[in-house]
Amino acid sequence: DPIEKKPLNHFLPGSSILSFGTAGCNLGCKFCQNWSMSKAKLDDENALSVSPEEVVALAKKNHTPSIAFTYNDPTIFGEYVIDISRIAREEGIKSVMVTAGYIDKNARKDVYKFIDAANVDLKAFTEEFYHTITFSHLDHVLNTLVWLKKETDIWFEITTLLIPGANDSDAEIKQECDWILKNLGDEVPLHFTAFHPDFKMLNKSRTPELTLLKARKIALTAGIKYCYVGNIFHAEGHTTFCHNCNAALIKRNWHDVLTNHIKDGKCPKCLTIIPGVFK
């Protein structure tokens, strides 16, 4: 996969990443976009048994600089994550978590010990949504985000899948952005992505492009420096702009990087440091 597909736009942009998952999940999202894996059983006939050493060897063979634990939430195979990411670190390969961030505080230190980057799904910003639609709780996710910011050196970005009529009101989006600014700062990239009807939420329509663009505008106006849209094509919404001089630094076509002008982690025009990991 291109790493932008995770999505991560400020972590080794333009690089490839070895992506894999297992079966099951610790949430029960009615709108799950990967339900064929999250609801699968470990004895599924399509499942393969792969050792941690084999995963890392495959990444090395394909000259892939990073490995992603994704598709279903890696929290449920934490021991596997630890083993793979430890070996990957020894081999100079980065490890990435794509997760809902729903993990007990007593477990996350071990699970994230060798993790280099993460994309955390902040699925909504109300407890009602989390409780009734994902069968989990918002506070646990917020605690994970604060922990990542204040107690680790892990690079992370946030994704919110906007579902029409469920979590896409202007007020909720503004509340989410305000919380991010207060608790995480203004340099954590935020992705708003489009929903499509799936699993047990087939009665909702696809997210209109206008909703995503409005959410991005709300975030940027609030003070979020880097906000993107996903699951639709929108050139501006895929582009990384310098937050100081507004120069277009990384242009993308969907998940493909067309141009990358960042040099030594800085904007070449005004020399502003761009937050992220670029080498």
C-beta neighbour count of 25 within 10 angstroms? 24
- Pairing label, strands 18-20, 66-69: parallel
Q: Quick check: 65 and 55 in contact, CB under 8 A?
A: no
pLDDT of 46-75, one tens digit each? 678 899 999 999 999 999 999 999 999 999
Q: Note whether residue 277 is domain-resident.
A: no
In CATH, what number is assigned to the domain containing residue 79? 3.20.20.70
Mean pLDDT of 138-163: 98
**What pLDDT sits at residue 36?**
73
Q: Note whether residue 49 is domain-resident.
A: yes
Q: Note whether residue 57 is domain-resident.
A: yes
Q: What percent of the chain has pLDDT over 90?
A: 88
Q: Note whether residue 276 is domain-resident.
A: no
Residue 80 clears pLDDT 60, i.e. is over it: yes
92 backbone φψ class: left, alpha, beta (φ>0; ψ -120 to 50): left
Cis peptide upstream of residue 197 (ω within 30 degrees of 0): no
- How does DSSP assign 245-264, residue by residue? T--EEEEEETTEEEEE--BT
Summary mean pLDDT of the chain? 95
Q: Quick check: 34 and 72 in contact, CB under 8 A?
A: yes
Q: How far apart are CA 230 and CA 193, in angstroms?
A: 4
- How does DSSP assign 90-146, residue by residue? HTT-EEEEEE-----HHHHHHHTTT--EEEEE---S-HHHIIIIISS-HHHHHHHHH
Q: Note whether residue 13 is domain-resident.
A: yes
pLDDT of 89-114, one tens digit each? 999 999 999 999 999 999 999 999 99
Rounded to 10 degrees, what is the CA torsion of 151, 74, 31, 183? 0
> What is the enclosing helix (H) or strand (E) of 214?
helix 209-222
Q: How far apart are CA 119 and CA 102, in angstroms?
A: 12
Residue 78 clears pLDDT 70, i.e. is over it: yes
> What is the enclosing helix (H) or strand (E) of 156?
strand 155-162
Residue 167 clears pLDDT 80, i.e. is over it: yes
Residue 240 clears pLDDT 80, i.e. is over it: yes
Q: Note whether residue 267 is domain-resident.
A: no
Residue 208 clears pLDDT 60, i.e. is over it: yes
**What pLDDT sits at residue 262?**
98
**What pLDDT sits at residue 199?**
85
Tokens of 260: 């990358």
Q: Note whether residue 274 is domain-resident.
A: no
Q: How far apart are CA 216 and CA 192, in angstroms?
A: 7
Domain holding 198, by residue range, is: 3-260
Name the domain count of the chain.
1
Mean pLDDT of 204-217: 97
Q: Note whether residue 271 is domain-resident.
A: no
Q: How far apart are CA 91 and CA 94, in angstroms?
A: 9
pLDDT of 5-23, one tens digit each? 999 999 999 999 999 998 8
pTM over 0.75: yes
- How does DSSP assign 63-83, residue by residue? T-SEEEE-SS-GGGGHHHHHH
**What pLDDT sits at residue 44?**
58
